[in-house]
A and B are shown apart, each in its own frame.
Chain A
Amino acid sequence: MEDQTRFKGLHISDQLAGEITRTEELAYELKISEVMTQNPITTSIEMTMEAVLNTFRNHRISGAPVLEGEKLVGVISIEDLINSLRKNDISSPVKKYMTTSLVTVRETDTVIEALKLFVHTKLGRIIVINSSNQLAGIITKGDVTRGILKALDHDYKEEEVRRYRASHLFEDISSDRSSLILRYTIKVGDFTRGGSASSNIKRALLRMGANPQLARRCGIAIYEAEMNLIIHTTRGGIIRVEIEPHQITMQATDEGPGIADVDLAMKPGYSTATQEVRELGFGAGMGLVNIKRCVDWMQLESTPGVGTKLKIKIFLKEEDTVGEGYPSTKESIKDESSGNNKSFGA
């Protein structure tokens, strides 16, 4: 309900909506201690209101916690100062005009607690205390805004830096043919973690600047292959992905049991999966068919009792290149991409 009033009258674009969400998340993530002003200007109870006036003026502040020794006893604000001025009483001590009913937050609370208090109390600043109820700092709306902006900027920069580094990988390395190889060990029967290798592969491709459709095709193909290793092998297997500017080669290798009839395995709807696997939503006999649909080239070699090797390739068009290092001459890549589409060995 609060949201409706908060954003009332504000045109919320898609971009803004995304940022609001992240900002709101940050309000729940950031600790008050991370955004507050530490060691704020304080006054003592014996200080005169005139001295307070000078302190406020010199430090350009409009309020300060009041201490008696180490102990937090109150807060003095510009309103209290005006009060004393009106009564022509600025030589009186702070203790006569300070507010003693304190609104505080703990430094270990999240920023959202301070935001709630700003709304409910209409205060401009809230005192922050530590676990032994001593003054730890002071928090204003400005502190919250600055803290969140800084965190947003940091988040953004982190992903940008990762993307930048990854997308220029091949540009900075000079060789006749550069490639990046990712390897993952897949355990048989590991349904809970199943798909995490594919998830990392898709993320790596996106960071390297692959377009989303391409990353999606690779992700779907390798995910089906990863699930096959989990479901059908005796000891799991290895996924190996080689990323080159002009092509992505993915390989799933295992040591058995092997596929007796590869042509039959390729038939839509044919499956040897158990009922248990089917209940998980797999084993419909569509895995290899799906893989074939997603890739430009596929080779399936299997020997019963020895193992299976699935090799797939996706060729990249120049505009889709990953890593900014597409070969300048087509000749240099001709060796692998010519002919031989969708070949199946036995």
Chain B
Amino acid sequence: MNLEELISIVGGCLHTDGADLSREIKGGCGADLMSDVLASIQPEAVLLTGLCNPQVIRTAQMADIAAIVFVRGKQPPQETIDLAIEERIPLITSPFGMFELCGRLHRKGLPSLEMPVEKEPCPGD
């Protein structure tokens, strides 16, 4: 799936001019905790998140994230957009919520790029 297809699937709009629409998106990850993102995400994934601060862009840069989708119509502040343009990370806002977006993308064949944590025994085991 490339960026252009992704934008159409999530029904979103792009905030960063000049983004490479043919960029390949290898999978997805959805989280609001940046440490969870840093711990679990594999390179070249799209990140679905409800957070819009510049730390999201820094996280994306550190973890080699290919694009960011803000869920539920969240509009990023200018400082976030500026940093995203500088680091060449495409930003998209979608009107849909996290569950809906994960479902839409998964249905279109986008795999999860979240590494699970090691399974702990369940209570009572």
Interface residues of A (CB under 8 A from B): 12, 14, 17-18, 21, 24-25, 28, 191-192, 194-196, 198-199, 202, 212, 216, 219-220, 223-224, 227, 280-282, 284-287, 289-290, 293
From known contacts A12-B22, A18-B20, infer whether A223 and B36 are also in contact, taking CB-CB under 8 Å.
no
| Pair A286/B18 contact, Cβ less than 8 Å | no
User: Measured between alpha carbons, how far is A281 from B20 in the docked complex, in Å?
Assistant: 28
Chain A's closest residue to B2 (CB) is: A17
From known contacts A220-B63, A223-B38, A281-B34, infer whether A198 and B20 are also in contact, taking CB-CB under 8 Å.
no
Q: Give A331 Cβ to nearest chain B Cβ, in Å.
A: 35
From known contacts A192-B79, A281-B51, infer whether A220 and B62 are also in contact, taking CB-CB under 8 Å.
yes
Closest 3 CB pairs of A and B: A195-B58, A286-B35, A281-B34
| Pair A282/B34 contact, Cβ less than 8 Å | yes
Interface size of B by CB at 8 A reads 26
| Pair B39/A290 contact, Cβ less than 8 Å | yes
Q: Can you list 28 A-B pairs with a CB-CB distance of less than 8 A?
A: A14-B22, A21-B18, A21-B20, A24-B18, A191-B55, A194-B54, A195-B55, A195-B58, A199-B61, A199-B87, A202-B61, A202-B62, A212-B43, A216-B62, A219-B61, A223-B58, A223-B62, A280-B51, A280-B55, A281-B34, A281-B53, A281-B56, A281-B59, A282-B55, A286-B33, A286-B38, A290-B39, A293-B39
| Pair A194/B55 contact, Cβ less than 8 Å | yes
User: Measured between alpha carbons, how far is A195 from B55 in the docked complex, in Å?
Assistant: 7
Most-contacted residue by chain A among B35, B54, B56, B64 (CB, 10 A): B35
CB neighbours of A219 from chain B (8 A): 61-63
Interface residues of B (CB under 8 A from A): 18, 20, 22, 24, 32-36, 38-39, 43, 49, 51, 53-56, 58-59, 61-64, 79, 87
Chain A's closest residue to B35 (CB) is: A286
CB neighbours of B55 from chain A (8 A): 191, 194-195, 227, 280-282
